[in-house]
Amino acid sequence: MAAKKIQEVNETAEVLKNMLIVQLALAGVQQRAIRNIVGCDINRVSRIARHLKANKSDEEG
């Protein structure tokens, strides 16, 4: 039972980190700074920010 609760907490933390990356990217923070703030791999930041940039260019054009 305790292992399941720990897994749920870890999943929640990962979702919150993703949300923080999204909000920082929308605010225009550089990817390296986001990586330092969130404490994750630059590939994760790039993977998430790439989707935001694609959507933003679709709206402008």
Q: How many domains does the chain have?
A: 1
| Per-residue buried b or exposed e for 27-48, using 16+ beta carbons within 10 Å of the residue's own CB | eebebeebbeebebeeebbeeb
Assigned token pair, 17 = 């980190």
What pTM, to 2 d.p., does this model score? 0.78
pLDDT tens profile 14-44: 999 999 999 999 999 999 999 999 999 999 9
Q: Residue 23: which domain range?
A: 2-60
